[in-house]
Amino acid sequence: MGLETARRALEAQQSALQVTAHNIANANTPGYSRQVIAMSPTDPYTVPALSRSVGAGQVGTGVSVSAISRIRDTFLDAQMRDVQNTTGDMEARRDALQEVEIIFNEPSESGLHSVMDAFWRSLQDLANNPESPSVRSAVKQSGENLASAFRTTYRQLADLRDNIDNVIRARVEEINNIAKEIAQVNAQVANVTAVNDKPNDLLDRRDVLLEKLSRYVDVTIQPEQNGAISVFVNGMAVASPFGYNTIQIANDPANHNYAALTWPTTPTPTPVQLKSGELQGLLAVRDTIVNNYLQKLDSTATSMSTSINAIQTTGYGLPGTTPPPPEFFVATDGAPTIAANNIGVNPSMGLADIAAASNNGSTLPDNPGDGSNALKMAAVKSIPDAVLLGGFSPDDYFRALIGQVGLETGETTRMADGQGLLAKQIDNQRDALSGVSLDEEMINMMRYQHAYQAASRLISVVDEMLDTLINRLGR
């Protein structure tokens, strides 16, 4: 019995040293949970005796390794997944809105609002100097600058929307890969659990995948009896003990051929419905937030150009031009409506055609000094438009647009930063519980080493006792 007891002690302490070595080796591995070994005494041996019943006089037979467990708090894991989900949503919105801020570039001398102000000032100068060729040239040039600024801003916002669609397609591919890998780990966990072992490293890997997936989409986790789990996204199982489902992508012709996400259900695919997460944030930015700014940019350009054209075509150019004068702004692509993406200065409008005057000279044969019509065009800046701008003037409407960009960016940044701090706090709590402390592992290593040496010494002592009994007794 002495040798068997010592052998069990050696094996147990050796296993403990292997667990300690595994912890030390993975001290800097992301997602690794500290593992601990649980030892328990083996079944005792009952010494036979004729004068008493079985039960008393039991002799210990050593130690055995009852479990190797990982230290993990499922509550903290669930909290982290919830926080990551909200963080992914807020950060997707924040990053896009910060790009929108850069596109508008307000306030600055090169921003769209500054270009608009330059156009209004040129019309005021024209009202004061309607005969000046240089002033008329400045009006036309400032109009071209304004049209170019509208088109550039619109194109940059549209490009941002296109880029977000590309990110959405990449995220869907990542989500599908994660779902596939979770299903593979599920199968491995089930196999290990079936033989009553603890798949600690596999569980760590699965938790890392779940945390990454929860950043992209809102997930619900349901444990299964065989150690596997089922992962649901708004009721649809993306991974389970039976396999995994992938999100399908189709081009939506009703939405600029952007990615439309569906589940491969029969007989018809089911649209993917999301509540939160980075993917939902990206979809909201692409289909709602950026679209909203594009529509407001269109409204500003349409209202301003419509009002300017209405005044231009009812005024008069310099003597020698044929009334009515041509429109100031036109749609460069021939569309029936002028918008931010197609606004341009009429190429057939000469400098003399700019209708600075509102008097056709019926009482005065020549009245080139009349700049009242240019003054009306300059006043468009402050005239409310109830149809396109909701009662705001073009200047106030655009200022409100820029203010909205700033407010939305500030709010999403604040929320993203707050969620980031909360995630860091939970991560610190989890590290304090599950992280590897090298100091603690060094102490454990020394403890197990001394126990191993003691068990080795016990074998030597038993060997000496047997040698005395067998080889020396009776000499």
Average pLDDT, integer, range 413-423: 95
Longest dimension (CA), the chain: 153
Flag whether 426 is in a domain. no
Q: Are 355 and 462 members of one domain?
A: no
Query: How confident is the model at residue 3, as a pLDDT?
Result: 87
Domain count for the chain: 2
Q: Are 145 and 277 members of one domain?
A: yes
Pairing of strands 236-240, 229-233: antiparallel
Read off the pLDDT of residues 86-103 as tens digits, 9 standing for 90 and up.
999 999 999 999 999 999
For residue 293, which of 377, 383, 407 has the smallest C-alpha distance?
A: 407
Q: Answer whether 271's CB lies under 8 Å from 235's CB.
A: no
Average pLDDT, integer, range 418-423: 94
Separation in Å, CA 126 to CA 118, 122, 141, 374: 12, 6, 13, 6
Q: Are 284 and 314 members of one domain?
A: yes
Flag whether 404 is in a domain. yes
Decide which of 31 and 362 is more confident: 31
Query: How confident is the model at residue 55, as a pLDDT?
Result: 52
Read off the pLDDT of residues 122-141 as tens digits, 9 standing for 90 and up.
999 999 999 899 999 999 99
Given a cut of 70, whether residue 368 has pLDDT beyond it is no
For residue 68, which of 40, 42, 41, 35 has the smallest C-alpha distance?
A: 35
Which residue type does 297 have? L
Structural domain range at position 47: 2-71+435-472
Query: How confident is the model at residue 363, as a pLDDT?
Result: 44
Q: Are 179 and 260 members of one domain?
A: yes
Q: Are 9 and 92 members of one domain?
A: no
Query: How confident is the model at residue 107, as a pLDDT?
Result: 81
Separation in Å, CA 465 to CA 85, 207, 313, 473: 66, 53, 120, 10
Distance from C-alpha of 360 to C-alpha of 353, rounded to nearest angstrom: 13
- How does the average pLDDT of the chain come out, rounded? 91
Flag whether 439 is in a domain. yes
Pairing of strands 343-345, 329-331: antiparallel
Given a cut of 60, whether residue 53 has pLDDT beyond it is no
Q: Are 364 and 450 members of one domain?
A: no
Flag whether 210 is in a domain. yes
- Of all helices (H) and strands (E), which one includes residue 108? none
Read off the pLDDT of residues 273-324 as tens digits, 9 standing for 90 and up.
999 999 999 999 999 999 999 999 999 999 999 999 999 999 988 888 888 8
Decide which of 80 and 106 is more confident: 80
Q: Are 34 and 92 members of one domain?
A: no
Read off the pLDDT of residues 155-200 as tens digits, 9 standing for 90 and up.
999 999 999 999 999 999 999 999 999 999 999 999 999 998 899 9
Query: How confident is the model at residue 367, as a pLDDT?
Result: 61
Flag whether 49 is in a domain. yes
Buried b (16+ CB within 10 A) or exposed e, 428-461: eebeeebbbeeeebeebbeebeebbeebeebbee
Read off the pLDDT of residues 33-44 as tens digits, 9 standing for 90 and up.
999 999 999 888
Given a cut of 80, whether residue 472 has pLDDT beyond it is no
Flag whether 412 is in a domain. yes
Read off the pLDDT of residues 100-116 as tens digits, 9 standing for 90 and up.
999 998 888 888 999 99
Q: Are 8 and 94 members of one domain?
A: no
At residue 54 the predicted structure's pLDDT band, cuts being 50, 70 and 90, is low
Q: Are 128 and 208 members of one domain?
A: yes
Average pLDDT, integer, range 146-157: 96
Q: CB under 8 Å to 25, separation ≥6 — which residues? A: none
Q: Are 378 and 446 members of one domain?
A: no
Terminal-residue alpha carbon distance, the chain: 26
Distance from C-alpha of 201 to C-alpha of 70, rounded to nearest angstrom: 9
pTM value surpassing 0.95:
no
Q: Are 115 and 6 members of one domain?
A: no
Average pLDDT, integer, range 60-68: 91
Read off the pLDDT of residues 225-268 as tens digits, 9 standing for 90 and up.
888 999 999 889 999 998 999 999 999 999 999 999 999 888 88
Separation in Å, CA 422 to CA 79, 94, 461: 10, 17, 58
Q: Which two tokens stand for residue 189?
A: 């966990």
Q: Are 275 and 345 members of one domain?
A: yes
Flag whether 445 is in a domain. yes
Q: Which two tokens stand for residue 76?
A: 């903290």
Boundary residue ending a domain (421, 444, 464): 421
Pairing of strands 35-41, 63-70: antiparallel
Distance from C-alpha of 413 to C-alpha of 437, rounded to nearest angstrom: 35
Flag whether 381 is in a domain. yes
